[in-house]
Copies of this chain bind each other. A is one copy, B any other.
Amino acid sequence: MLAEIITIGDEILIGQIVDTNSAWIGQQMNAVGFKVHQITSVSDNREHILAALKEAAGRVQVVLITGGLGPTKDDITKKTICDYFNVGLRFDEEAYKDVEHLFKIRGREVTPINRLQAEVPVNCITMYNRVGTAPGMWFDEGGVIYASMPGVPHEMKYLMEKEVLPRLKERFETPFILHKTLLTQGIGESFLSEMISGFEDVLPANFKLAYLPSAGAVRLRLTASGNREEVTNTMNKLVAELSDLVREYLYGYDEDTIQEVVGRLLKDKKLTLGTAESCTGGYLSHLITSIPGSSEYYMGSTVTYSNESKTALLDVPADLVIKFGAVSEEVVKAMAEGAKKKFNADCALATSGIAGPGGGSPEKPVGTVWIGISTPAGTKAKKVLLGDNRLRTIEVASMTALNMLRKELSGNA
């Protein structure tokens, strides 16, 4: 079963934005048994879009189209699709309700231009977009499915999950494919690979293992296809085996995030958390508060970028900073204990490091980060070296801190 992705928009071709949509769509399509045959990025140009649609429809059963559905003059996808099918537009009352709703909750009036967004080609099934103003469009013509979605990532994802994927599963007999992903933190790809090489060598022929590294984490994805019951049983057995092998680094499965896992542990144990951040600059707090309902267990953070604020807000003794430096085991432990006290929390995490590019020294090079943790069981700290990419250091330090707390709370430290 083959699909193609067509992304429309000059901003991709001139390199103004990186196309992250296609990778996400590729993953989702694979998961439901479709192979993405080709990804084509074309400009906001009528003839170019028409040619791309025709070529793709000649090669595959499903054509997924993103972009060019905005209300402005440069967005011509909808009009061009009408030309492609040689049809006109109709006004879709329910799509208009979505437009009205979105403007209402943003405290604005619908303009005439936005009213036009509720128009759709007469031959499409409207895929209602509850998170944006441009509806998605589903066409089933000449044995080929075409699905057109906005290019805004969260709108595209909403429509893929709520509309496109369920409709594809209904429309096509897709083979049974099972994916299971193990999520690890704190170990590099090549070390993992050595650790599990025995497991990999005896993997059944219908199972594939992929390493998916990202900043600070490596996902291990097992994929199999075949008979539903047989594949499911073998998968469960293999996941248990692999989990045992990487137990020390395993923080979750599939769509888990480390901040969700930590939040669940805190809720289950009825514990609260505070944080004190220096080099992570608020990102640790952002990860924690990105989880809905985090206010149940998260008290707050102090981002103490200046040494004075470490003393003023967290009661870190000034002489400790002078004696050991802000990036030290002593200071990061004092920060964690200060945060625990100030926020009246059961647990606290603290970070202090040199995110760079400036501020490094031979003893404390750029990328040196101390992470402190304080729980009812006591306070400790650990040093990590994270390299010279500022944003990566901020991300990895934040994830490492959360993983330290996860290990403590799950008795795995």
User: Which of chain B's residues has its CB closest to A282's CB?
Assistant: B285
> Complex formed: what's the CA distance from A71 to B189 in Å?
8
Given contacts A41-B38, A190-B114, contact A312 B342 (CB under 8 A): yes
A131 beta carbon closer than 8 Å to chain B:
yes
- Shortest distance between the CB of A63 and any CB in chain B (Å): 15
- Shortest distance between the CB of A1 and any CB in chain B (Å): 14
**Chain B CB within 10 Å, residue with most, of A74, A212, A286:** A286
A81 beta carbon closer than 8 Å to chain B:
no
**CB-contact partner of A23 in B12, B72, B219, B295, under 8 A:** B12
A79 beta carbon closer than 8 Å to chain B:
no
Chain A facing B: main interface SS: mixed
- Chain A interface category by residue count: 35 or more
Write out the residue numbers on chain B whose beta carbons fall within 8 Å of the beta carbon of A239: none
> Is there contact, CB below 8 Å, between B305 and A190?
no
> Is there contact, CB below 8 Å, between B27 and A13?
no
> Is there contact, CB below 8 Å, between B18 and A18?
yes
A358 beta carbon closer than 8 Å to chain B:
yes
- In the complex, which residues 188-207 of chain A have their Cβ closer than 8 Å to any Cβ of chain B? 188-191, 193-194, 200
User: Which of chain B's residues has its CB closest to A55's CB?
Assistant: B55
Write out the residue numbers on chain B whose beta carbons fall within 8 Å of the beta carbon of A282: 277, 282-286, 288-289, 301, 303
> Is there contact, CB below 8 Å, between B38 and A14?
no
> Is there contact, CB below 8 Å, between A105 and B211?
no
> Is there contact, CB below 8 Å, between A390 and B23?
no
Write out the residue numbers on chain B whose beta carbons fall within 8 Å of the beta carbon of A152: 213-214
| Binary interface encoding of chain A residues 378-390 relative to chain B, with 1 for a CB under 8 A from any of its CBs, else 0 | 0000001111111
> Is there contact, CB below 8 Å, between A24 and B15?
yes
> Complex formed: what's the CA distance from A191 to B103 in Å?
12
Given contacts A105-B365, A212-B11, contact A299 B305 (CB under 8 A): yes
A269 beta carbon closer than 8 Å to chain B:
no
Write out the residue numbers on chain B whose beta carbons fall within 8 Å of the beta carbon of A353: none
Write out the residue numbers on chain B whose beta carbons fall within 8 Å of the beta carbon of A14: 26-27, 30, 36, 179, 223
**Chain B CB within 10 Å, residue with most, of A16, A221, A358, A386:** A16
A113 beta carbon closer than 8 Å to chain B:
yes
> Is there contact, CB below 8 Å, between B23 and A74?
no
> Complex formed: what's the CA distance from A318 to B400 in Å?
36
> Is there contact, CB below 8 Å, between B190 and A73?
no
> Is there contact, CB below 8 Å, between B18 and A41?
no
A43 beta carbon closer than 8 Å to chain B:
yes
> Is there contact, CB below 8 Å, between B289 and A286?
no
Write out the residue numbers on chain B whose beta carbons fall within 8 Å of the beta carbon of A313: 300, 302, 313, 342
User: Which of chain B's residues has its CB closest to A38's CB?
Assistant: B42
A108 beta carbon closer than 8 Å to chain B:
yes
> Is there contact, CB below 8 Å, between B38 and A40?
yes
Write out the residue numbers on chain B whose beta carbons fall within 8 Å of the beta carbon of A292: 356-358, 390
Between A and B, 14 residue pairs with Cβ closer than 8 Å are A11-B210, A15-B27, A15-B28, A38-B43, A72-B193, A74-B208, A106-B387, A275-B303, A282-B283, A282-B288, A286-B286, A299-B306, A300-B309, A312-B344
Leading 3 A-B pairs by shortest Cβ distance: A281-B289, A282-B285, A15-B26
Beyond contacts A12-B26, A17-B212, A283-B286: 5 other A-B pairs, Cβ-Cβ < 8 A, are A39-B41, A277-B282, A298-B305, A313-B313, A313-B342
Interface residues of A (CB under 8 A from B): 10-20, 22-28, 30, 35-44, 48, 52, 70-74, 102, 105-108, 111, 113-114, 131, 152, 154, 179, 181, 188-191, 193-194, 200, 208-214, 219, 221, 223, 275, 277, 281-286, 288-290, 292-295, 298-306, 308-309, 312-313, 342-344, 355-358, 365, 367, 384-392, 394
